[in-house]
Amino acid sequence: MTTPYILAGDVGGTKTHLGLFELATLAPLETKTFASADFTDLLAMIRSFAGARELRCQAVCIGAAGPVLDGVCQITNLTWAIRAAELRQALDCPAFVINDLEANGNGIALLPQSDLYQLQAGKPQLGNAALMSAGTGLGECILFWDGTRHIAVPSEGGHASFSPSNPTEAELLAYLWQTYRHVSWERLVSGTFGFEHIYTFLRDTGRAAGSAELEAMAEAEGYGAAVSKFADQGLPIAVATMEQFVALYGSEAGNLALKALSTAGLFIGGGIAPKILTWMTRGGFLQAFVAKGRFQNFLEQIPISIILNEQTALLGAARYAKYHAHLA
């Protein structure tokens, strides 16, 4: 390949996207998705992606699901550790490892309007924005407005303590305390934990009758897929689980919007929201989002969009590499 290009990656606990992007325009040249657990480390995956060809990229940037300290990320829901120094040595080019939400935040500016589904029009004002992504885990990011552009500031806000908003959620918290010393938002708003925890709470507390058929599917395919399928079919416990999941998603999104003072907008990323779009639009998310007492009117003014492009973080990683390797 003679065209100058950037190698970008978006590493999650379940799947990883890798892509080559044309340096001048950041147009995708080639992308591929891998099951993360199929590889012992990222370099093995990159070698598989390269195949017989030699990768001669101008820069590489990997967005990774976990905290990044000194260019090293231990993936939160995977056994890998990704090190910028190892990538730099192996690929012989500038290399960066950033948080996956930071990568996602960098990619939003490259999206056409058709890649965004508007949940709330609001009345946008110049200032900060925010990004929240539920997938395998729960990621959060502040998009800080520096007067010229938004700078993605990563966080581990998904691991902050869950706070109930009503008596039922207080009972949900007490239920999970039987299992966990610390109950984070990720335990309730994520694909790995959320659907299962909400479902078993509703079943075990007698709020809804359990379903052997749903549980059998969940054992094979996970509770997210099972709840989604049976909720669409109208099974009461699946509907109740989905409604509670969406409400909790909205509640924490409202918390993030307040903390970030995200007058320019809130973006919902991750793999879950586009898959349950009909449930996200039924009102429960927005009701919980704005239910913040005296700040309800403030939150009603914040535009909310769901990101439909699953390669946003990949685009953002490529954009980050171009800018920080001074290739612009």
pLDDT in tens, the chain (328 residues): 567 999 999 998 788 999 999 999 999 999 999 999 899 999 999 999 988 788 899 999 999 988 899 999 988 777 889 999 999 999 999 999 999 999 999 999 999 999 999 999 999 999 999 999 999 899 999 999 999 999 999 899 999 999 999 999 999 999 999 999 999 999 999 999 999 999 999 999 999 999 999 999 999 999 999 999 999 999 999 999 999 999 999 999 999 999 999 999 999 999 999 999 999 999 999 999 999 999 999 999 999 999 999 899 999 999 999 999 887 6
Q: Name the segment(s) of the chain with CATH classification 3.40.367.20.
A: 157-307
In the 3-class helix/strand/coil scheme, how is 102-115 assigned residue by residue? HHHHHHHHHCCHHH
pTM, two decimals, is 0.92
Radius of gyration for the chain, computed over Cα atoms and rounded to the nearest angstrom: 20
CB 238 within 8 A of CB 223: no
Question: In the sheet that 81-83 helps form, which strands lie side by side, from edge to edge?
Answer: 68-69, 72-74, 81-83
Per-residue pLDDT, 1: 57
Q: Name the segment(s) of the chain with CATH classification 3.30.420.40.
A: 5-108+311-324
Is residue 289 helix, strand or coil?
helix
- Is 157-307 in CATH node 3.40.50.300? no
CB 58 within 8 A of CB 327: yes
For the chain, what's the residue count? Answer: 328
Q: How far apart are CA 311 and CA 328, in angstroms?
A: 21
DSSP assigned state of 162: P
| Residues contacting residue 33 through CB under 8 Å, at least 6 positions apart | 15, 16, 17, 18
Q: Look at domain 5-108+311-324 and name its CATH class.
A: alpha beta
